[in-house]
Amino acid sequence: MPRLILAALAALVLALPAQAVQMGDDGLHKTDWMRTTFMDLREDLADANAEGKRLLLLVEQRGCIYCRKMHEEVFPTPEIDAYIRENYFVVQVNMFGDVEMTDFDGEALSERDMIMKWGIIFTPTMMFFPESVPDGVSAGDAAVATMPGAFGKGTTLNLLTWVVEHGYETDENFQKYHARKVEERQSGIASGDE
């Protein structure tokens, strides 16, 4: 009987996710690759550049089932987790938060008012920024890509990669890039490469 109990416990432990998703006091999912900042986007961009990373704002809200999906199924994927850690400076924004933040254009508003200013209506939303933002430009206008919603692992990784590779500066828009990457992956699997 003890062997049966030990086997059941071992199976349960192996079935658990490798990383437990932590929840903050604000009801938002927390990962150790998220940065705690003074929420001044000009400073955050400078800090990201100093580390050789791209600034990414991750807009979320309490109780968001799509945010949970990203944090439980997509972000913990080893390849995605490693890619974010290596290439991104991530700042979380609470869609209905009261924390004051300062936009690239110098305007200071609460998180919720800033989200309204930028026209974001869905969570999660990922906003990606260039290494340089001209004076007087808001984050809503400066973003090189904005991904509203929860997407699968392949789409998310491809978007993360497309931004780092400056795909937005080429003639290959993200949809074409993504289709090419999916085809390359399928061809690799068909030929035995993985």
Give 28's contacts (C-beta < 8 A, 6+ positions apart).
Answer: 60, 61, 62, 67, 92, 94
Residue 88 to residue 53: CA distance in whole angstroms: 5
66: phi then psi, degrees, rounded to nearest 5? -75, -35
Q: 161 and 176 in contact (C-beta within 8 Å)?
A: no
Q: 65 and 90 in contact (C-beta within 8 Å)?
A: no
What tens digit of pLDDT does each residue of 140-169 get? 999 999 999 999 999 999 999 999 999 999
- Please report which confidence band the pLDDT of residue 190 belongs to, taking 50, 70 and 90 as the band edges: low
Domains of the chain: 20-150 (3.40.30.10)
Look up the pTM and report it.
0.85
Residue 11's pLDDT is: 45
